[in-house]
């Protein structure tokens, strides 16, 4: 009969230990996992990526409920352990249920440190440690909360950026004089601060919080610092570090210092009880990150399964900030003290900084900011304890193997770590590719676990696959949603091959887990069917986001904004009079000229939306939709400006009207500038035009969102007709190659800007894309009522009213903010 193994803790360390045991000997134990949260196993590292809108909550689930069932694991969720009796060898949970064990693993993790100041127990004071924390923070941010993040370390900054991206106003309070003071020096910390300020964050450095102020409802109203300054906020996020969760161990009589003390094979003071992860202490050192936790999980699994294993020793790891567009690495000893000295290189032009630390002639630490391409090389030097005598001081800071990334990868030593979280080297990955005939990043992850934690090493793994296999290597696929394990490209290929014309047919044909799909895959499938079969697919209105159907954006107070079309930013007295009359009739509290050179009406009640549109009798400005003309920004041009060389306003209007209603994977923003003074901010647009003497410069792949990307010069043309031709081809290329929800710059970067430019300059390829776009334009039907002219739908208030009562993409009646 199998022995009973109980694991207290359903977090990353505990689940990894169970997975290791199942891989080694799946029939050895009868396993029970006891967790405090009401979720299956998930990747806590990626919580910040959900806040930053890089992922959604289901995307971070690592082991779903089916995994527990298939492996015969008894998962006790939302029912934490409250007591351990080492004599009787039983565990009791909050509900009073008792579980006996032969072996017990404590993976209780850690608790966030909450600053013990007056007001710390007010409502809206949270720590960012769980999915529930993240969901609550997301909700507050979406309502426009003014949030203070106390703590300018790694997790605090990741949370702060995510909250800004979700719509909050965010201030970071840090006692140290610069950010990430334990991982960065002052130079890198100040560079990071400047970059984050450009993203909208505010910083209060060298500030000590004296108290959290509350209102008469027991909610946060502000912060008070010890220097007398006060800050108005409505929410506080504590990010001041963690402390091992040792309560159970202490009450059970186990040896506990700061953490649960363990030997090098993860045994506690009781031979039948082991401990791993953030709750442990080994040789006076605590565990605070995933890499050593996973190393401990491997050791405990080997010991329990009778497998040979190496004793645990502290794991050297790199620290990286998971914020899109900001690259930094810190590893090893990074302070000049005693015999430690450093070599520094700073590139102000390219915003890059390198500092390598040396002790007694041995490389011992690194700080990189901006350019982190050599991070793995330096990290390997630190691990190997390379002698500085092998390098000239300046040569150490230069990239090895020239600038060719393939050459760099080929010359990388086999023992160089690729996946720091899981301690997987280049050699281990290549051995697995050859032995198991692996062709994908997912396959490598399943065999070696490389790339399965923070995910930053996935591009390197993909490059290793391509280096080893060439064209046989599969490109990385991103699954569309939790309803399927298939990637976007696989789904699109299947739709084409089977000529499916409805979302239901796609879900049936590809064995979707959820018969009706979810709010992530429904709009995506509807888009792909429209794009692939524009003359055959019947629009599925319920798959559209509610804002698209409303022709309005939900605001934080539950009212809506309405933005009529002003093609190319141009308007007329008649339009202005209509807008003024509507604003007066419906008591519109806010009239705003928006960034896209249109007028927005804010604070309109949902029940008034049909009447508003009826009285405006104007086209929608598509400010709520993923379309080709989400924004076309232009200066006044040569007719009015003494510097203008082209009719920028007229060209913007032609683009705006020519591509109206063409759905795209995400919003598309354009800019048309009459001269190189670039008043229309062309260089941060998806597509841009700059007028020069005798022609038009065209730019592609820019972005001005949370990640700022400078556009690349595509070509120079002589006529407006050529501008429309190039934009049309580029637009159709984007429609066909992007994943739904992906901006143009990401597709351009993935494909390679040189490849996109070469394609667009090729007459045959450009014309082929234009032909397919022409079919889509000819087949376009207003999805709201099946009417081709945009004006038509605005004449029938009864039809408009029906639009707003249509069921939403969840199958329920329309709810705010879907």
Predicted confidence (pLDDT) per residue in 576-625, tens digit: 999 999 999 999 999 998 888 889 999 998 888 888 888 888 877 777 76
H-helix or E-strand spanning residue 440:
none
Has residue 509 been placed in a domain? yes
Q: Which phi and psi (to 5°) does residue 793 adopt? A: -70, -20
pLDDT band at 392 (very low <50, low <70, confident <90, very high): low
Residue ranges for the known binding site are: 635, 641, 675, 679
Which of 100-114, 225-239, 277-291, 554-568 is least confident?
554-568
290 and 146, same structural domain? no
What integer is the mean pLDDT of 457-478? 79
Same-domain status, 163 and 79 = no
Residues 449 and 522 in one domain: no
pLDDT in tens, 522-532: 889 999 999 99
Residue 813 has pLDDT above 60, yes or no: no
> Residue 138 pLDDT more than 80?
yes
Mean pLDDT, residues 528-548 taken together: 83
Q: Return the pLDDT at 351.
A: 84
Q: Are residues 674 and 654 located together in one domain of the fold?
A: yes
Q: Is residue 351 part of a domain?
A: no
* CB neighbour list of residue 35: distance below 8 Å, 6 or more residues apart: 9, 10, 11, 75, 76, 77, 78, 79, 80
For residue 476, the 8-state DSSP code is P
Residue 384 within a domain: no
Among 543, 575, 606, where does a domain finish?
A: 543
Provide the β-strand partners of residue 401.
none
pLDDT-based confidence at 408, cuts 50/70/90?
low
Does residue 164 sit in the same domain as residue 230? yes
Inside any domain, residue 236 = yes
Mean pLDDT, residues 447-460? 83
pLDDT band at 782 (very low <50, low <70, confident <90, very high): low
Q: Which residues contact 353 (CB under 8 A, 6 or more apart)?
A: 187, 188, 191, 344, 345, 346, 347, 367, 368, 369, 370
Whether residue 682 contacts residue 651, with contact meaning beta carbons closer than 8 Å, is answered with: no
- The predicted structure's pLDDT at residue 817: 28
d(CA 597, CA 574): 17
Structural domain containing residue 419: 403-469
Among 197, 176, 180, residue whose Cα is nearest residue 188: 180
Q: How far is CA 112 from CA 293, 352, 515, 755, in A?
A: 17, 33, 40, 48
Q: Show binding-site residues for siroheme.
A: 679
Range 128-147 average pLDDT = 89
d(CA 350, CA 561): 40
Cβ atoms of residues 681 and 704 within 8 Å: yes
Check whether 818 has a pLDDT greater than 50: no
What confidence tens digit (pLDDT) does each residue in 291-303 have? 899 999 999 999 9
Pair (252, 105) in one structural domain? yes
Evaluate the CA torsion angle 430, 434, 438, 439 in order and state its sign. Answer: positive
Domain assignment of residue 750, yes or no: yes
> What is the model's pLDDT at position 486?
82
Same domain, 253 and 234: no
Q: pLDDT grade, residue 428 (50/70/90)?
A: very high
Same domain, 231 and 248: no
Q: What is the pLDDT of residue 576?
A: 94
Average pLDDT, the chain: 86
pLDDT for position 295: 92
Banded model confidence at residue 148, pLDDT cuts 50, 70, 90: very high
487 or 635, greater pLDDT = 635
Binding-site residues for [4Fe-4S] cluster sit at: 635, 641, 675, 679
CATH number for the domain including 741? 3.30.413.10
Q: How many CA atoms lie within 13 A of 78 on its CB side?
A: 3
What phi and psi values does residue 734 have, to the nearest 5 degrees?
Answer: -65, -45
Q: Where residue 94 sits, what CATH number does that domain have?
A: 3.50.50.60
Q: How confident is the model over 652-672, as a mean pLDDT?
A: 88
707 or 699, higher pLDDT: 699
The answer to the question of residue 550 being in a domain is no
Task: Assess whether 183 and 138 both reside in one domain.
Answer: yes
Is 300 a domain residue? yes
Per-residue pLDDT, averaged over 149-153, amounts to: 95
Among 423, 441, 469, residue at a domain's last position: 469
Q: Which residue has the tokens 């099946």?
A: 786
Token pair listed for 382: 């630190």
Phi, psi for residue 41 in degrees, rounded to 5: -65, 135
Q: Looking at residues 171-181, what average pLDDT do you find? A: 96
Are residues 638 and 732 located together in one domain of the fold?
yes
Together in a domain, 413 and 500: no
Nearest Cα residue to 658 out of 687, 681, 682: 687
C-beta separation of 339 from 360 below 8 A: yes
* CA-CA-CA-CA dihedral for 680, 686, 691, 696, to nearest 10: -170
Q: How many CB atoms lie within 10 A of CB 250?
A: 11
- Per the structure block, which two tokens stand in for 629? 């003309």
**Residue ranges of E strands in 296-377:** 318-320, 328-332, 340-347, 352-359, 362-369
216-275 pLDDT, tens digit per residue, is 889 999 999 999 999 999 999 999 989 999 999 999 999 999 999 999 999 999 999 999
- Report the pLDDT value the prediction gives residue 475, as an integer from 0 to 100: 65
Distances from the Cα of 403 to the Cαs of 400, 414, 477, 573, in angstroms?
A: 8, 20, 27, 58
273 within 8 A of 254, measured Cβ to Cβ: yes
Q: What is the pLDDT of residues 59-99, one digit of tens each?
A: 888 888 989 999 999 999 999 999 999 999 999 999 999 99
**Short-list 293, 226, 237, CA closest to 266:** 293
Contact 604, 560 (CB under 8 A): yes
Is 17 in contact with 297 (CB distance < 8 Å)? yes
Token duo for residue 792 = 């038509």
Query: Which percentage of the chain shows pLDDT scores above 90?
Result: 52
Distance (Å, whole) CA 280 – CA 391: 39
Same domain, 674 and 745: yes
Total domains, the chain:
5
Average pLDDT estimate for 298-325: 88
């Amino acid at each position: 009969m199998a022995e009973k193994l109980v694991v207290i803790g359903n977090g990353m360390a505990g689940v990894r230990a169970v997975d290791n045991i199942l891989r080694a000997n799946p029939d050895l134990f009868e396993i029970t996992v006891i967790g405090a949260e009401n979720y299956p196993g998930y990747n806590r590292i990626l919580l910040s990526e959900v806040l930053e809108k890089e992922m959604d909550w289901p995307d971070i689930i690592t082991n779903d409920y089916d995994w527990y069932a298939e492996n015969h694991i008894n998962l006790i969720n939302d029912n934490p352990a409250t007591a351990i009796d080492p004599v009787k060898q039983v565990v009791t949970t909050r509900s009073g249920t008792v579980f006996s064990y032969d072996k017990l693993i404590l993976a209780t993790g850690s608790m966030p440190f909450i600053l013990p100041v007056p007001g710390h127990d007010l409502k809206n004071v949270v720590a960012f440690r769980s999915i529930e924390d993240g969901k609550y923070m997301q909700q507050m941010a979406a309502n426009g909360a003014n949030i203070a993040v106390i703590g300018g370390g790694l997790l605090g900054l990741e949370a702060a950026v995510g909250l800004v991206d979700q719509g909050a106003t965010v201030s970071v309070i840090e006692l140290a004089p610069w950010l990430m003071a334990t991982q960065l020096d002052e130079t890198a910390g100040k560079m990071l601060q400047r970059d984050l300020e450009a993203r909208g964050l505010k910083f209060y450095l060298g500030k000590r919080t004296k108290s959290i102020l509350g209102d008469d409802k027991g909610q946060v109203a502000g912060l008070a610092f010890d220097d007398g300054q006060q800050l108005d906020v409505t929410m506080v996020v504590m990010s001041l570090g963690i402390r091992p969760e040792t309560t159970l161990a202490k009450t059970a009589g186990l040896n506990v210092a700061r953490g649960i003390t363990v030997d090098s094979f993860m045994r506690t003071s009781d031979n039948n009880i082991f401990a791993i992860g953030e709750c442990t202490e080994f040789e006076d050192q605590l565990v605070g990150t995933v890499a050593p936790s996973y190393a401990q999980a491997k050791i405990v699994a080997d010991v329990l399964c009778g497998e040979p294993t190496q004793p645990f020793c502290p794991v050297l790891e790199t620290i990286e900030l998971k914020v899109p567009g900001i690259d930094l690495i810190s590893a090893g000893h990074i302070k000049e003290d005693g015999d430690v000295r450093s070599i520094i290189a700073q590139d102000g032009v390219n915003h890059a900084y390198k500092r390598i630390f040396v002790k007694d002639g041995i490389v011992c630490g690194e700080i990189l900011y901006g350019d982190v391409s050599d991070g793995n090389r330096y990290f390997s030097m630190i691990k190997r304890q390379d002698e500085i005598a092998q390098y000239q001081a300046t040569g150490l800071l230069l990239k090895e193997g020239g600038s060719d990334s393939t050459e760099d990868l080929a010359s990388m030593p086999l023992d160089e770590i690729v996946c720091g979280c899981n301690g997987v080297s280049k050699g281990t990955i290549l051995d697995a590719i050859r032995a198991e005939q692996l062709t994908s990043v997912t396959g490598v992850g399943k065999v070696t676990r490389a790339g399965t934690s923070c995910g930053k090493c996935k591009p390197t793994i993909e490059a290793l696959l391509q280096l080893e296999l060439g064209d046989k290597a599969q490109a990385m696929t991103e699954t569309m949603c939790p309803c399927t394990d298939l990637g976007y490209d696989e789904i699109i290929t299947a739709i084409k091959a089977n000529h499916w014309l409805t979302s239901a047919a796609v879900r049936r044909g590809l064995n979707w887990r959820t018969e009706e799909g979810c709010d992530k895959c429904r709009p995506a499938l509807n888009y792909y069917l429209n794009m692939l079969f524009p003359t055959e697919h019947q629009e599925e209105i319920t798959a559209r986001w509610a804002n698209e159907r409303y022709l309005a954006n939900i605001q934080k107070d539950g009212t809506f904004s309405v933005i009529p079309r002003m093609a190319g930013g141009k308007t007329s007295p008649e339009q202005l009079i209509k807008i003024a009359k509507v604003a007066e009739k419906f008591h519109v509290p806010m009239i705003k000229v928006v960034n896209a050179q249109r007028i927005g009406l804010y604070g309109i009640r949902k029940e008034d939306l049909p009447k508003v549109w009826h009285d405006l009798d104007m086209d929608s400005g598509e400010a709520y939709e993923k379309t080709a003309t989400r924004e076309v920004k232009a200066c006044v041009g040569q007719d009015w400006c003494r510097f203008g060389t082209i009719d920028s306003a007229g060209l913007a209007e032609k683009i705006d009207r020519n591509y109206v209603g063409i759905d795209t994977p995400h919003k598309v923003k354009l800019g048309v500038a009459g001269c190189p003074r670039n008043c229309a901010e062309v260089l941060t647009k998806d597509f841009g035009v700059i007028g020069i003497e005798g022609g038009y410069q065209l730019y592609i792949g820019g972005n001005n969102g949370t990640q700022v990307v400078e556009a690349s010069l595509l070509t120079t043309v002589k006529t407006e007709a050529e501008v429309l031709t190039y934009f049309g081809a580029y637009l159709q290329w984007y429609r066909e190659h992007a994943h739904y929800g992906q901006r143009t710059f990401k597709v351009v970067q993935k494909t390679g800007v040189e490849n996109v430019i070469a394609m667009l300059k090729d007459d045959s390829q450009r014309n082929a894309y234009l032909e397919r776009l022409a079919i889509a334009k000819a087949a376009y039907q207003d999805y709201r009522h099946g009417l081709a002219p945009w004006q038509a739908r605005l004449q029938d208030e009864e039809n408009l009213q029906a639009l707003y009562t249509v069921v939403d993409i969840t199958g329920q009646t329309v709810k705010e903010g879907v």
